[in-house]
Copies of this chain bind each other. A is one copy, B any other.
Amino acid sequence: MSQQTAITPTRAQDFPEWYQQVIKGADMAENSEVRGCMVIKPWGYAIWELIQKDLDQRFKDTGHTNAYFPLLIPISYLEKEAEHAEGFATECAVVTHHRLEAQKDEATGKTHMIPTGELTEPFVIRPTSETVIGAAFARWTSSYRDLPLKINQWCNVMRWEMRPRIFLRTAEFLWQEGHTAHETREEAIEETLTMHKVYEEFQRDVLAIPTIPGEKTEAERFPGAEQTYTVEAMVQDRKAIQAGTSHFLGQNFSKSQNICFAGRDNTQQFAWTSSWGVSTRMIGALIMMHSDDDGLVCPPCVAPQQVVIIPVTPKEDTRQAVLDHCEELARTLRAKTFHGQPLRVLVDRRDLGGGAKKWEWIKKGVPVRLEIGPRDLEKGSVCFQRRDQAPNEKTFLPETELADTITDILQNIQDTLLNKAVAFRDAHIRPASTLRELEENFSGEGDADWLQVPWDGSPEEEEELAKRLRISIRCIPLGELGHGDPAPCILTGRLTERRVLWARSY
């Protein structure tokens, strides 16, 4: 097992299939019989709960409150939108009836359920809630005193995806969507940038994902947005994953939804709005970012269990003493805190071989494994293994030392994962100055670096090049990665200071 790998195929052999097998090996999620919809199993859902808990506090700390809006959107709401937004998403689940009637087939004896009760106005299941939340904001806003509105919703949304991929792209997924309305353009832009920063920091400090923060080009913007900000993650096959977006919507939505207010000067004005969201897609990014050929590698901050203790009980006469000791150590460790939360520690008491247990926790990505047997009891030591080290690398530590340093160890694992990801990312972003370089870089089927290039093409030119090379502009990075001395655009030759990142993406 140590010579081989716990996951077949390896990343090098078949990255997409490796991804599926990591998810299966960690028992995180599975496809359901409902086309494109996944079942998120306890280990995967526990990661989502940890993500939610941390992000939710960040939203509250920046002045947002949670609320809940209807799942169904009247089609008339979308008709208003369609008049304003080109490229409107229309692959969505449509509710047309409100009743099922059982009909028994006399020949076969089987019961069939027939939709009846046709609705006069159909609904769609929300693909996003701008329209329905906008309608509420319009009801709630009459004076500048009612602003800002800073609302977040945790919910499920649905888009009829034709090529689903578990966590990364599913018909139904879980997400949060923030929606805000402001008195001034400046406030709304500030909000958009604040939440963009919250996403970047959360992904860096909690998921150990070092994203590139930047702005989307016009061609890649959310329909109806004036500006879309994104955080882009580079995973191990060097593809990009858009891990969160934050949109400044200007007055586009407030005008179609009539979100208006009496201003300080008593004139009627339209509000300035923003929206921002991240989803269970982040779990897909997390897996592709850190995992290895032995399975999931979970950063300690979002590991459902941070430490698993495996009792080694070869003989019946010492069994109870070993179990008791493991439980006592677990209690000691649970009394410690990591990032403000009590340590999550499990004693694996199951009646299973030690090897089977060990490999199960490796595949589940638990940061620290401890083994304790009768001899360790005598010596007061534990056998200590880290998920970010080779499966058979082990250290024997005095138990007191372990207890004193466990939070440092977890932080070290967290930092190691981040640093490794940063190094990988930085090694695979290169400047390029000609179209030829771009074409060569993205010509083969193998993994391809991200290219940072001077760009001044039109949206149409961008879309044409994107289609031809099956790549896209991930963003115009914030900071120095997005700027440079005037240089010729690789396509038009026009001088530009702007630099964009071209990459393949999920």
Contact = CB atoms under 8 A, between A and B. Distances in A.
Interface of A: 30, 32-34, 37-42, 45-46, 48-49, 65-75, 78-79, 82-83, 88, 90-102, 110-113, 115, 117, 122-125, 132, 135-136, 139, 151, 155-156, 158, 160, 172, 174
Given A42-B66, A155-B156, A37 B82 contact: no
Nearest to A174: B68
Nearest to A64: B42
A101 to B, nearest CB: 7
Given A70-B39, A102-B90, A79 B160 contact: no
Contacts of A73: 34
Interface centre among A113, A115, A156, A158 (most CB of B within 10 A): A113
B113 A71 contact: no
B95 A93 contact: yes
A276 B42 CA distance: 18
A99 B110 contact: no
Contacts of A40: 67-69
A72 B101 contact: no
How many copies of this chain? Answer: 2
Contacts of A37: 70-72
B39 A69 contact: yes
Given A79-B110, A102-B88, A113-B82, A42 B151 contact: yes
B172 A71 contact: yes
Nearest to A40: B68
A297 B91 CA distance: 45
Given A32-B132, A66-B46, A90 B82 contact: no
A65 B42 contact: yes
Contact of A111 (B69, B83, B91): B83
Contacts of A117: 91, 160
A81 B225 CA distance: 46
A65 B46 contact: yes
A221 B36 CA distance: 34
Contacts of A71: 37, 125, 156, 158, 172
